[in-house]
Chain A
Amino acid sequence: MSLERSEVESIAHLARLAIDEADIPRYATELSSILGLVEQMNSVDTHGVAPMAHPQDVHQRLRPDAVTEADRREQFQRIAPQVENGLYLVPKVIE
């Protein structure tokens, strides 16, 4: 598997990562070599093998739908980059 420049750009966009133009060839080489390692999985036939999502096949525990957390908005917003009147600020999204 060898990734093209355009594929690296597309992956970086999907992941919302700004990467330098100049670094794209290096990413293409490194990601291709990691995928080469990963594709060694294809040497084994896994037809009919049940995928394993949890080490002990334990199912997600549910809890009663009750409020368990106190309101700590002020404390959480104190570490935010930009807030105003209890709202997180981002650049304008609607013209």
Chain B
Amino acid sequence: MHLKTIAELSRGLAAGEFSSAELTRAFLERIERFDGQLNSFITVTAESALAAAADADARRAAGEAGPLTGIPIAHKDIFCTEGVRTSCGSRMLDNFIAPYSATVVERMAAAGCVMLGKTNMDEFAMGSSNETSYYGPVRNPWDTDRVPGGSSGGSAAAVAARLAPGATGTDTGGSIRQPAALTGLTGLKPTYGRVSRWGMIAFASSLDQGGPIAATAEDAALLLNAMAGFDPRDSTSIDQAVPDYTAHLGESLEGLRIGLPKEYFGAGLDPEVAAAVHAAVREFEALGASVREVSLPNSHLAVPAYYVVAPAECSSNLSRFDGVRYGYRCEAPKDLEDLYKRSRGEGFGAEVKRRIMIGTYALSAGYYDAYYLKAQQVRRLISDDFRRAFGEVDVLLGPTAPTPAFRLGEKTDDPVTMYLSDIYTIAVNLAGLPGLSLPAGFAAGLPVGLQLIGDYWSEARLLNAAHRYQQVTDWHRRVPAAFR
């Protein structure tokens, strides 16, 4: 059962081949058996999962089942889940039992999804390798000496090892797409404002966006159908109709105009990754798309601007963790300042502290114009590059990450080296566009991800392009040998 896609499981449930209870037990058993090697879950909610599965089976028996009724999924531990620890990968929230559920969690539960548990992640979603988690690193099922990417590394590893058929993630600078790429999965970061951020612990509020991680584009479409939609409780949610993302998956790509940003194929790109991406370009041409080179001339400024905007917003958002109302509090504070400083100093890990300090510095008196204002202006230039490109083409295509999965510890000594692993994904967040990563081959035995970037609200088109590609390739069906 575990090798089936969500779409196939949905058909199996509908046909009565197995129940949600059986399916849920099968995945819980796989987690029990395999997760010791991966560390992809922080919390497994076996008991409530079995209860939700029984509910789903009852709803189906009553004729009330939808496509996701009874489908087990995992939530990144950044989404608040009422009554269940929501740690955000941090010591700060190790004792935090969320008093409410995120909109995404509520929506997916309402669609009938069964939550298997909460997945590991970089602390407060700050990282590209899942090595900053308080709960220890996650390992890549394709090679357990390597990272699964981050920050949604637990979700990606769990789905890649088929410990869950799909999972939620969040993407602030590539945190859905890069781990999807490094583990051979399909991951979608929707348009900013498409998926509610309510109850999704904030990192950088003008960039954060939740989205699905699954084996196939069709599965990502099914999950996005449940996740997307206007939410009055999120002030940045945009009131825009949600199409059925599965409705146009099969449409022809005849006439689709694809642009290859030349800046995404320069120095630093692993030659085997480049070769896989170029092979995929030929598949898209064979499917009827036309391909031309385009330019995004300010691409090299995306990582620098991001490391002002994201830390500045993080320093502000994370000021709420004060040791007073919830979360970690230090022992025996001698005064209020000591309480704040030691609760935060002890509750946060090194990467989170670095980013809070960078943001604090960039926003401090006398530096605002040179850093924050400048970064917001650069952000405009980056966004304008995309606007021009989408005047010429429908979709941009390039690598998701410059290399396949790297080794644990390989980039932990130098934060800047780690930051550059998101060089092709960050600009998409700065512009607020949708981006999708899909598996497109292997380099040295490790999965390679291909990124498709679309104009605002073009999720359906990205999913359509990815789905058609997946009809003529089988990279998305590959499962690491040790976890079959």
Contact = CB atoms under 8 A, between A and B. Distances in A.
Interface of A: 7-8, 11-12, 14-19, 27, 30-31, 33-44, 46, 49-56, 58, 60-61, 63, 72, 75-76, 78-82, 88, 90-93
B432 interface: yes
Interface string B53-82: 000000000000000000000000000000
A59 B284 CA distance: 38
Contacts of B305: 38, 41
The bracket for how many chain B residues form the interface is: 35 or more
Contacts of B326: 76, 79-81
Given A51-B377, A55-B206, A81-B323, A33 B341 contact: no
22 contacts: A11-B360, A14-B364, A17-B344, A17-B353, A17-B357, A19-B353, A27-B354, A31-B361, A37-B303, A40-B301, A40-B304, A41-B378, A44-B298, A44-B301, A46-B378, A46-B381, A52-B379, A53-B206, A63-B232, A79-B97, A80-B325, A91-B334
B324 interface: yes
B339 interface: yes
A55 B383 contact: yes
Contacts of A41: 301, 304-305, 308, 374-375, 378
A12 B381 CA distance: 32
Interface of B: 95-97, 99, 192-193, 206, 232, 235-236, 238, 298, 300-301, 303-305, 307-308, 315, 319, 322-327, 329, 333-342, 344-346, 348, 353-354, 356-358, 360-362, 364, 371, 373-381, 383, 414-416, 419, 430-433, 456
Residue among A52, A78, A92 with most chain B CB within 10 A: A52
A74 B207 CA distance: 33
Contacts of B319: 16
A92 B83 CA distance: 32
A54 B209 CA distance: 13
A56 B375 contact: no
B235 A37 contact: no
B253 to A, nearest CB: 27
Given A11-B360, A63-B232, A82-B329, 20 more contacts: A18-B346, A33-B414, A34-B354, A37-B307, A40-B301, A41-B304, A44-B298, A46-B377, A46-B381, A50-B380, A52-B376, A52-B380, A53-B206, A55-B192, A56-B192, A76-B326, A79-B99, A90-B339, A91-B338, A93-B336
Nearest to B99: A75
B357 A90 contact: no
B415 A30 contact: yes
A61 B360 CA distance: 27
A43 B298 CA distance: 10
A18 B344 contact: yes
Contacts of A49: 377, 380-381
A17 B345 contact: yes
B415 A16 contact: no
A71 to B, nearest CB: 13
A44 B304 CA distance: 12
B325 A34 contact: no
A14 B236 CA distance: 28
Contact of B307 (A7, A8, A34): A34
Nearest to A49: B377
Given A49-B377, A49-B380, A14 B333 contact: no
B341 A16 contact: yes
A34 B357 CA distance: 11
Contacts of A38: 304-305, 307-308, 358, 362, 371, 375
